[in-house]
Amino acid sequence: MYLQQQDQDILNAINGEAKRQSEGLELIPSENYVSHAVLEANGSILTNKYSEGYPGKRYYGGQEFTDQVERLAIERACKLFNATFANVQPHSGAPANLAVYAAFLKPGDTVLGMDLSHGGHLTHGHPMTLPAKIYNFVTYKMKNTETGEIDYEELRRVAIEKKPKIILAGFSAYSRTLDYKKFVEIAKEVGAITMADMAHIAGLIAAGVLRNPFDDGFDIITSTTHKTLRGPRGGLILLREDFPNPFGYKNAKGEDILMSTLINSSIFPGIQGGPHMHTIAAKAVAFGEAMTPAYKEYAAQILKNAKAMEAVLKRENIRMIGGGTDNHLILADVFGSLGVTGKEAQTVLDEVGITLNMNSIADDTRKPLDPSGIRFGTPAITTRGFKEAECARVAELLIETLRNKDNAEKKAQIKAEIKSLAEKFPIPEKFV
Ligand code: DSN
């Protein structure tokens, strides 16, 4: 209403994006649709407030209601993930990870994480990132790219040799289950702490349909809140249990500083200023939604839907890295299977209304800007209400599009089918 009068240009772009989101199918596995309750909190007047510090210990006045909001978000996050401590202030996943590194490491200290080319994330040590310029990242990989099995012997060997302070489990393009117990055993052997970056699968863990790394003894979880968790764009840091840090950082009284204290001061004032209280309120709303039985059903359906897509790819002889999926995503070698590059696939699928992303595959011989693979998943279409039958059909349409990438008539037919599927399943406004 106000934008209409004040800023037609921005309103037009927002309306264009709304139309794109509603007419197309969103298969980027890190995206989702939030409820209008989450949108309302995120767009609220809490954006006007500065609240540096933490509930009860702020640097500015007027915090009666912001304290309520942040306390609720913390309480709900802890309940949802079986954690005893939560910092809900990270602006997103990258600052959450940086804050954990900065809390515990000195420049030059070592982190052992999953190789980016085998599914890890940029923030786990890509040479162009700030953390990689400050800390020493060493990596582990899959032992077998056809099954996705991690090379735990190599992980242990590197851990013993390089003595990392943090062993990091987590990924953005890996479709199998990690053996968290093995990570914990190896970390204990070398005196490292364990950190799980669960950004992609946080919602599946919260719902109990995937294993919680805390149940196997992980120390720290970092996450974003906007992927399977279906909240606003933001980050989160959790501790299973608080304990005095094992790295010898002392307070003024000469006592070992608690892990929670190091994390809190690493976020503020370490790397962030004022928290985004409107986003924290929206996180609290999303955490509330994730506690409902309906959300558990949603999370279980994400997995069933991914399996339905996997079955079609198997039937059509499309190679999947890891041989298939145990979670919400699939990484397919479209260059090896169909002779279509990841970039070509992304472009032609965009044309018919299927949005996904090109992605490097393990040991890719092609460059990251025109890789061999595509990555796609089911969180957003499951939010729309898609079940196995519709997901299988989407997988068929995806493959059909790639097989007919130069056939304009065929692509027009597919586009029409995608649009009518999307119309049949409008984006919901509420989940509870
Ligand atoms: N960009 C996110 C993803 O798509 O996996 C991770 O940061």
pLDDT in tens, 224-263: 999 999 999 999 999 999 999 999 999 999 999 999 999 9
* Same domain, yes or no: 175 and 221: yes
* Same domain, yes or no: 281 and 306: no
Backbone angles phi, psi at 244, to 5 degrees: -65, 135
CA distance 429 to 34: 8
Is residue 183 included in any domain, yes or no?
yes
Is residue 358 included in any domain, yes or no?
yes
Query: What pLDDT does 376 receive?
Result: 98
For residue 232, which of 291, 281, 267 has the smallest C-alpha distance? 281
Distance (angstroms) between ligand 1 centre and the Cα of 377 equals 12
User: Residue 340's domain spans which residues?
Assistant: 24-31+293-424
Is residue 328 included in any domain, yes or no?
yes
Q: Whose CA is nearest to atom 4 of ligand 1?
A: 30
Other Cβ atoms closer than 10 A to 337: 18
> What's the domain count of the chain?
2
* Same domain, yes or no: 317 and 277: no
Write the CATH number for 185.
3.40.640.10
* Same domain, yes or no: 280 and 340: no
CA distance 183 to 177: 12
Has 197 been annotated as catalytic? yes
- pLDDT tens figures, 108-120: 999 999 999 999 9
Q: How far apart are the first and last CA of the chain?
A: 26
Write the CATH number for 362.
3.90.1150.10
* Same domain, yes or no: 232 and 85: yes
Query: What pLDDT does 282 receive?
Result: 99
Is residue 431 included in any domain, yes or no?
no
Nearest ligand 1 atom to the CA of 357 is: 4
354 forms bridges with which residues in the sheet? 25
Burial of 396 (0-12, 13-18, 19+ CB in 10 A): middle
Report pTM: 0.97
| CA-to-CA separations, 21 to 10, 15, 132, 353, in angstroms, rounded | 16, 10, 35, 9
Are the beta carbons of 272 and 90 closer than 8 angstroms?
A: yes
Query: What pLDDT does 196 receive?
Result: 98
227, 230, 283, 411: which one is catalytic? 227
Is residue 2 included in any domain, yes or no?
no
Is residue 16 included in any domain, yes or no?
no
Has 161 been annotated as catalytic? no
Has 174 been annotated as catalytic? no
> Which residue stretches of the chain have pLDDT < 50?
none
